Amino acid sequence: MGGTGEADGGGGSRARAEAEWLALSGPAISMRWWDAGLAVTVVVAVVLATTSSSGRVAASFVAIGLLLVAWFGLARPVVRGNDGRLSVRSVAATVALVVVGGVAVGATPELAVVQAFLMPLLWTLLPTPRSAIVANVALCLAISVGFVVSIGWSSEAVATAATSEGLSLVFSIALGLWITTIARVGAERGRLLDELREAQAELAARHRDAGTSAERERLAREIHDTIAQSLTGVVMLTQQTRGTLVAGDVASTLERLDVIETAAREALTEARTLVAATASSGPAGTDVAAALRRLGERFARESGVSVTIDAAEVELPRDLQVVLVRCTQEALANVRKHSASPTARVTLTTAAGTAVLVVADDGTGFDPEVASTGFGLDGLRERLGLSGGHLEIASGGGGTVVTARLPLTGAVTA
């Protein structure tokens, strides 16, 4: 990783390398493992110093003491508070450890064992692979000088030191880069996992929003097709009742008041059904033909429009019954509000696994190509579309025909 930065020679590569190393630094390495490693190193160094043939026991113990001072005074605080940045403290600790390594080997060649502790420690102290490699090179040079000082200047001593420390340096760099690569891959996987979790959370939030929007649209359709229609009927009946009351027709007034009460109770029932978040407030029975006849009778009482119901005996799942009844309600409501037709015809037939609902009138008609400003027809199209059906409208001077086609999924024909 450090080599790549050197090859690029640009600030961008160096910045990327430092950023990767910073991402790997993470929390500080557990001090217990470093303290244990130092303890083992000190014990081995003491044994080697006391058994060395060089006779420099005092100098060896001084070097070991310097190692402890450098660790507890400089290196350990930097490792414990590692923040992934090159600081004066980390540079000072690195210089001290390099010097201690050279002094230890200069006292007794056997103390070269300390580099087994110092080399990985330098990889931890420094913030980039490049700086760690430079520090390891400096440590190997210091130990090589210590070798030559300890055993005396000779070509053989220089060759031995160069060979030994060259191999140690290669091993340290290879191991450090390997561990760094593993840590980088782990950090990258962790980052990708975090991004995946964020994406899943965002997707879940969008699904919740979509579900909320769909539920809001569903409730809007239900309110329009049930409560709004019932209240419209109540308003029209109230207007008619006012006229009969002014005319002094008490019998007609009482009759219409009964109809108003019935319509209001039905609207209240529909509202309670929606509030209770139960199934759509559609027909209570399993026979949609009977439900359409009840709807036609109620509409005729409220509006005065003569309604003819010709419905095939077919049993449908409740949700499909609701769709057909709502289509009939909306079509009849349009007859009352817009067509001025004295009659209306409702026909329900089944053929080839499809229910065909036709609501026709003899009114003034309208232009189906003109965009509608109301919610009713658009709501019908959406409701039918959700059930796999579709809506057809034909209108002209001779009246309007609304045709709803709905697949009989799971239906049982009688």
Query: For residue 405, is it within any domain?
Result: yes
Cβ–Cβ under 8 Å, residues 230 and 266: yes
> What pLDDT was estimated at residue 350?
85
> What pLDDT was estimated at residue 372?
64
> What's the token pair of residue 51?
């058994």
Average pLDDT over the chain, rounded to whole? 77
Cβ–Cβ under 8 Å, residues 98 and 90: no
- Mean pLDDT over residues 341-361, rounded? 89
> What pLDDT was estimated at residue 211?
65
Query: For residue 50, is it within any domain?
Result: yes
- Mean pLDDT over residues 335-364, rounded? 87
85 pLDDT more than 70: no
Query: For residue 223, is it within any domain?
Result: no
* C-alpha 349: how far from chain center: 47
12 contact partners, CB below 8 Å, separation of at least 6: none
Query: For residue 162, is it within any domain?
Result: no
- Mean pLDDT over residues 204-214, rounded? 73
Which whole-number Å values give the CA distances from 251 to 237, 243, 263, 276, 341, in the listed order? 15, 13, 19, 38, 26
Query: For residue 414, is it within any domain?
Result: yes
> What's the token pair of residue 209?
């929003």
> What pLDDT was estimated at residue 347?
92
Residue 399 sits at φ, ψ, to 5 deg, of 130, -175
- Mean pLDDT over residues 61-65, rounded? 87
Q: SS in 3 state form for 193-223?
A: HHHHHHHHHHHHHHHHHHHHHHHHHHHHHHH
Which whole-number Å values give the CA distances from 26 to 1, 21, 136, 186, 366, in the listed order? 18, 9, 22, 12, 72
> What pLDDT was estimated at residue 412?
42
Selected residue with higher pLDDT from 341 and 153: 341
- Mean pLDDT over residues 383-391, rounded? 84
Cβ–Cβ under 8 Å, residues 404 and 324: yes
> What pLDDT was estimated at residue 29?
47
> What pLDDT was estimated at residue 374?
59
Query: For residue 149, is it within any domain?
Result: yes
> What pLDDT was estimated at residue 20?
47
Residue 302: pLDDT band with limits 50, 70, 90: confident
Number of domains in the chain: 2
User: What range defines the domain where residue 298 resides?
Assistant: 286-414
Q: Which of 130, 153, 176 is the last residue of a domain?
A: 153
- In this predicted model, what pLDDT tens digit does every residue of 154-190 receive, in sequence order? 777 677 777 777 787 788 888 878 877 787 787 788 8
> What pLDDT was estimated at residue 1?
38
Q: What burial letters (b/e) apply to 293-319, b meaning 16+ CB within 10 Å? A: bebbebbbbbbebebebebeebbbeee
> What pLDDT was estimated at residue 359?
92
Query: For residue 268, is it within any domain?
Result: no
Q: Which of 121, 153, 185 is the last residue of a domain?
A: 153
36 contact partners, CB below 8 Å, separation of at least 6: none
- In this predicted model, what pLDDT tens digit does every residue of 109-130 receive, in sequence order? 888 888 888 888 888 888 788 8
Residue 74: pLDDT band with limits 50, 70, 90: confident
> What pLDDT was estimated at residue 274?
61
86 pLDDT more than 90: no
Query: For residue 231, is it within any domain?
Result: no
- Mean pLDDT over residues 334-359, rounded? 87
> What pLDDT was estimated at residue 280?
42
Q: Which of 99, 130, 153 is the last residue of a domain?
A: 153
Q: Using CA atoms, how far apart are residues 414 and 408, in angstroms rounded to an integer?
A: 13
Choice among 11-20, 307-316, 360-369 with the minimum mean pLDDT? 11-20
Nearest to 376 by CA among 310, 341, 329: 329
299 contact partners, CB below 8 Å, separation of at least 6: 233, 305, 307, 332, 336, 344
Which whole-number Å values give the CA distances from 95 to 42, 74, 123, in the listed order? 20, 10, 13
Residue 226: pLDDT band with limits 50, 70, 90: low
Strand partners, 360: 345, 401
Q: Taking the alpha carbons of 232, 236, 237, 241 in that order, is the dihedral positive or negative? A: positive
Q: What is the DSSP string of 378-412?
A: HHHHHHHHHTT-EEEEEEETTEEEEEEEEE-TT-E
> What pLDDT was estimated at residue 160?
72
- In this predicted model, what pLDDT tens digit does every residue of 231-276 receive, in sequence order? 777 777 788 788 888 887 878 888 878 888 777 777 776 676 665 5
CATH label of the domain that carries residue 408: 3.30.565.10
